[in-house]
Structure 1
Amino acid sequence: MNVIFVSPQFPSVYWQFCAALRRNGAVALGIGDTPWEALAEEVRASLDEYYWVGDLEDYDQVYRAVAYFSYRYGKPDWIESNNEHWLSLDARLREDFNVARGPRPGEVERWQSKARQKPLYAAAGVPTARQTMLTTFDETRWFIGEMGHYPVFAKPEVGVGACGTRILRSDDDLRALLRDCGAGGDGGDPPVPYVVEQLVEGDLCSWDAVLDSGGEPLFENQEEFPPSMADVVHGGLDMSYRSCPRVDPRLSELGRRTARAFGLASRFVHMEFFRLRSDRPGLGAAGDYVGLEVNVRPPGGSTPEMMNYAHATNVYQVWADMVCFDERRTEPDGTDAYCVYASRRDAHRYAHGHDEVLARWGAAVVSCGRVPDALSDDLGNYQYTARLATSEEADEFVAYVHEREGDCHGDQAGVREGSGGGSPTAGPGA
């Protein structure tokens, strides 16, 4: 097989998808915007050939790269980035080079649209928050009145993570959103499409899976995000989340139904849900799951590494097995555990220095280091990731890493909430 992988150098762990392809006998061909000599050695070693383009946003350059690979190696069998930012680029390349496998632009556009996801959730029988497109003040205010009252949650109609999201608590907040996104009718730039929806109180979870060509999971993972990414960004909170050793069967069933309704197959997927903390008429009882959004790629950053530690496996190889063989040939090699991520921000002062953290938790810490600036708004500036046997140990680890100078026994607002309370607002995860 000839597999073209877009941006194998970022995120920094994604070269492992290419290395796994080569272990399966595929030809791994990379296209990226980092010069060859600046690539890390492991990235170079994971590829059969690499084509540097000055700007991945310049479609003509990327098109020429694929044309070159097609001439040199033959028609590509697969084009993928596993990266939200490049999903539309992947789809356009598949269409222009008539690659049989993988979604085309129309499918990706439908999957990335917050509004167009709603009927697909309904077809799956998965409850979701009520939603409307942001139009005029009067129409949006009428929708808010129909739901009862403020606050409500606003987010870009197409987008990922917490970027651009807002909590609207008053008419003034709504007017400010209309003005800032260009929907005020002042003849300026075209409006940025937004949706406004119910504010859901619950714990943010995800169902992550590698799906075969029939849409059945070859691998499953459950993540939990206390607090949510939206709370982290808007409140400047310290970030923590975890990959769990087991998947709630109820969440797994909802994930599978959602995959079928969305027509998802032969992909890594990351589906976000709220687990209600109290009964909510029209949505469900406490403990029920409510659909938030579907992402047709792995969860962000280094989360695939966390899945490996949580499940004693290699998800890069599971994905490559799916691409090359449409089956899983990689089995777990060890016991399951909690893999938990806890990050710090440069703006805060913490009670325990780096050496203290490693002295207290070093046996469990599987990685630590600076977070790339491009991801730091969501994921913090410095991260510690640990593999721990119990949820209680994971809570203790997060509280220790996040404890700030002056906190009383680490009982920091946000740490305790982050350790067990979940998110009080709606917002996407990684």
Structure 2
Amino acid sequence: SNNEYWLERDAMLRSDFHITSGFQKDEIEMFRHKSNMKKYYEAAGIPVARYHLVDDWDGCMQFIEEVGYPLCTKPDNGVGASDTHKIENQQDLEYFFATKDPDILYIMEEFINGVVDSYDAIVDSNGDPIFESGTVSPISIMDIVNNNDNAAYHVTSEIPDDLKAAGRATVRSFGVKNRFVHFEFFRLNSDQHIGKAGDVVALEVNMRPCGGITPDMMNYAGNTNVYKIYADMIAYDSSLQPKVRNGYCAFAGRR
């Protein structure tokens, strides 16, 4: 799950063999490109960061005049904070233009000051979650990658009501069925253009399980088995696998 090359192949196989239980190849663009995700978040009533698809210097400067520094730049079709940068001033912007890959389309967004909360769910054929969990990441993946920071995050014992509502609304907006998903949101640290401190706003969707060892952390926190729940969902469209407890599981990694 740490890269997503297989999502296109998954959709292509479904289309080629007329498997209609999941996303088809003509639908995958809505969640592979960050700019395309925004309209589905907005349709769900969830605020999104203002953005600009990087074209030329003048176009970017016009956007910066609207939103100001700092900014984030990243590939519009990317994963795992790869090639993601914080632009704090014109010198950073000049460096970005001098070093960016000319073959990649980048998205430039206003910087959001917040903690990353995730909504994770296994969704049945009716678009209803049969398992829900979530994580809190006080250190952003962008900072971990770019600053060689240590990593720390945890699986929550309870999903806050506003995050659960946002996650379920996003499931409906994207028309998710028969899938394990990992949706990311910011919980704002302060009042900003996008919302008030404590509000939940959009970051991005991942139509796959959370990466690394996080599924096992969810198993430990809930004394459950997300792999069996997913298999049951595929085979029976339901699961009797219990979530025995609402516990925490934390991860800390040193460089």
TM over 0.5: yes
* 1:232-280 deviation per Cα after TM superposition (whole angstroms, max 9, x unaligned): 1111111111001111111000011111111111100000011011112
Aligned pair 1:266/2:173, yes or no?
no
* 1:12-45 deviation per Cα after TM superposition (whole angstroms, max 9, x unaligned): xxxxxxxxxxxxxxxxxxxxxxxxxxxxxxxxxx
| Map of 1:291 onto structure 2 | 202
Give me the whole-angstrom Cα distance separating, in 2, the residues matched to 1:332 and 1:153: 38
| Map of 2:75 onto structure 1 | 156
TM-score by length of 2: 0.96
| Map of 1:383 onto structure 2 | none
Quote how far apart the aligned CAs of 1:177 are.
2.1
Does the residue aligned with 2:28 lie in a helix, a strand or coil? helix
184, 192, 202: which one aligns with 2:114: 202
Does the residue aligned with 1:107 lie in a helix, a strand or coil? coil
Q: Give the partner amino acid of 1:140.
A: C
Q: Give the partner amino acid of 1:102.
A: G
* 1:30-81 deviation per Cα after TM superposition (whole angstroms, max 9, x unaligned): xxxxxxxxxxxxxxxxxxxxxxxxxxxxxxxxxxxxxxxxxxxxxxxxxxxx
| Map of 1:89 onto structure 2 | 9
Does the residue aligned with 1:197 lie in a helix, a strand or coil? strand
Indicate conservation of the 8 Å contact 2:29/2:36, yes or no. no
Quote how far apart the aligned CAs of 1:171 are.
2.2
| Map of 2:54 onto structure 1 | 134
* 1:326-345 deviation per Cα after TM superposition (whole angstroms, max 9, x unaligned): 11221123x32110011122
From the CA coordinates, give the structure whose radius of gyration is larger: 1
Give me the whole-angstrom Cα distance separating, in 2, the residues matched to 1:223 and 1:85: 24
Q: After the TM superposition, which segments of 4 or more aligned residues of structure 1 sit over 6 Å from their partners?
A: none
Q: How large is the Cα RMSD of the aligned pairs?
A: 1.5
| Map of 1:326 onto structure 2 | 237
Could you list the runs of 5+ residues in structure 1 that have no partner in the other structure? 1-9, 12-82, 184-190, 346-430
Give me the whole-angstrom Cα distance separating, in 2, the residues matched to 1:336 and 1:120: 30
* Residues 28-177 of structure 1: pairs in structure 2 closer than 5 A: 84-147=4-67, 149-177=68-96
TM-score by length of 1: 0.57
Quote how far apart the aligned CAs of 1:118 are.
1.1
* Residues 192-231 of structure 1: pairs in structure 2 closer than 5 A: 192-231=104-143
Alignment length (residue pairs): 255
Aligned pair 1:275/2:157, yes or no?
no
| Higher relative contact order (Cα pairs below 8 Å, separated by 6+ residues) | 2
Indicate conservation of the 8 Å contact 1:88/1:109, yes or no. no
Quote how far apart the aligned CAs of 1:106 are.
2.1
